[in-house]
């Protein structure tokens, strides 16, 4: 797809209205102009400059799904997905910022008290404040109910002790949504990064999303007012984290579609110009097979994401398994596409001069975050037995 308009038309396919097509075109234009040119530099430096985050905030992209009454864009799920796909096409690290920031904003809008919403949502909408979800721990990954970080009540304060790990943008986030274990069970607490006792350490050398400022977060006797409790005690995973992760896997699915699109664009451009055995490699049948598989995976994954988005907007009970199916399909397809893109580029794909090396690492991360591939397989098998169990 050679132009922003071509991409918007391809996304339409008769399934989206003019507003969605126009929004996608705007997102694509921004990504082409402001994100793609710096993505490799961000990846190599393992750093997101503050001015890049500020620009996303100024343009309203970080606040796009936040209700308009709090200064956000109030967009629907499909529009948010289209933004995630375009950011994923340009830079998966910035897409991950969108994901974690909107996860926290989403649970605040849904489960926060009026005072919490009025305090935090306008700041999240403007990008003045960056938020991150502090759930994973060194010994706790997929089983979120097993968190070891502790929270205790001490008069009018909550006191937290623990260690969180793999916290995306945790090194720079102003607000952390911490899931800790209290007397009633897993409990969600809002913690400002500026609080005494909060320490972060940047994690470098990751396989993908290397500019995502992922961090170890240590909570050493951190005290916050009791009104920083989000939702009810004991419902930190089933209510708060579950709601956040559902939105997270949805945006990761769309971000994976963006990676496939980037792999397609890079592979088509390379195959058009690279010659071997006296002809452009686009004429070699096995290269064409790799590209056709990417093309099929792109459209299949995008359609599943669109289905998940429409179901979210309709509040369809099937939106949860639809998001899981979209995330599973798109993330595994992104790994295949990135691996094949490296293959199309040959030895050049193994070096840093071409972006496909970055796509491969980023795609692999998509299979791990917001529920591993295997976790989704278990859940999807349950849905399959339920849906098709009556057939003999």
Q: Which of 29, 283, 370, 387 is catalytic?
A: 370
Q: Is 71 left (phi over 0), alpha (psi -120 to 50) or beta?
A: left
- Helices 77-90 and 242-273, packing angle to 10 deg: 50
Residues 310 and 78: beta-carbon distance below 8 Å? yes
157 is catalytic: no
Q: CA–CA separation, 266 vs 345, rounded Å?
A: 9
Rounded to an integer, what distance in angstroms lies between the CA atom of residue 206 and that of residue 308? Answer: 30
Q: Cα separation of 273 and 270, whole Å?
A: 5
Q: Closest by alpha carbon to 101, among 230, 248, 210?
A: 248
Which residues partner with 200 through β-bridges?
217
CA distances from 51 to 96, 128, 258, 295 (A): 17, 12, 23, 35
The residues assigned a catalytic role are 370
């Amino acid at each position: 797809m050679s132009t922003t308009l071509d991409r918007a038309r391809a996304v339409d396919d008769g399934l989206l209205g003019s507003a969605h097509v126009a929004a996608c075109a705007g997102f694509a234009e921004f990504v082409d102009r402001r994100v793609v040119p710096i993505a490799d530099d961000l990846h190599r430096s393992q750093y997101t400059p503050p001015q890049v985050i500020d620009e996303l905030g100024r343009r309203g992209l970080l606040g796009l799904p936040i209700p308009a009454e709090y200064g956000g864009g109030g967009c629907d799920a499909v529009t948010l997905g289209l933004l995630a796909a375009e950011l994923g096409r340009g830079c998966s690290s910035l897409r991950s910022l969108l994901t974690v920031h909107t996860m926290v904003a989403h649970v605040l809008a849904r489960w926060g008290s009026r005072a919490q919403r009025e305090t935090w949502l306008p700041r999240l909408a403007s990008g003045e404040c960056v938020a991150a979800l502090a759930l994973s721990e060194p010994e706790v990954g997929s089983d979120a109910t097993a968190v070891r970080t502790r929270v205790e009540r001490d008069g009018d304060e909550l006191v937290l002790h623990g260690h969180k790990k793999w916290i995306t943008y945790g090194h720079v986030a102003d607000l952390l949504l911490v899931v800790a274990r209290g007397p009633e069970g897993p409990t969600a607490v809002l913690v400002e990064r500026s609080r005494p006792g909060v320490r972060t350490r940047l994690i470098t050398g990751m396989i993908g999303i290397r500019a995502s400022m992922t961090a170890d977060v240590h909570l050493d006797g951190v005290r916050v007012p009791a009104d920083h409790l989000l939702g009810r005690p004991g419902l930190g995973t089933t209510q708060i984290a579950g709601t956040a992760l559902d939105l997270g896997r949805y945006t990761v699915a769309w971000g994976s579609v963006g990676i496939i699109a980037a792999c397609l664009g890079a592979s088509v451009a390379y195959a058009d110009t690279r010659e071997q055995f006296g002809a452009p490699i686009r004429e070699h049948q096995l290269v064409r097979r790799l590209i056709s598989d990417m093309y099929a995976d792109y459209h299949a994954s995008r359609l599943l994401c669109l289905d998940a988005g429409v179901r979210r907007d309709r509040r369809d009970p099937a939106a949860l398994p639809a998001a899981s199916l979209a995330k599973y399909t798109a993330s595994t397809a992104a790994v295949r596409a990135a691996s094949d893109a490296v293959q199309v580029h040959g030895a050049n794909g193994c070096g840093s001069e071409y972006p496909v090396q970055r796509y491969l690492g980023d795609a692999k991360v998509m299979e791990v975050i917001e529920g591993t591939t295997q976790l989704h397989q278990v859940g999807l098998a349950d849905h399959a037995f339920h849906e098709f169990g009556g057939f003999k």
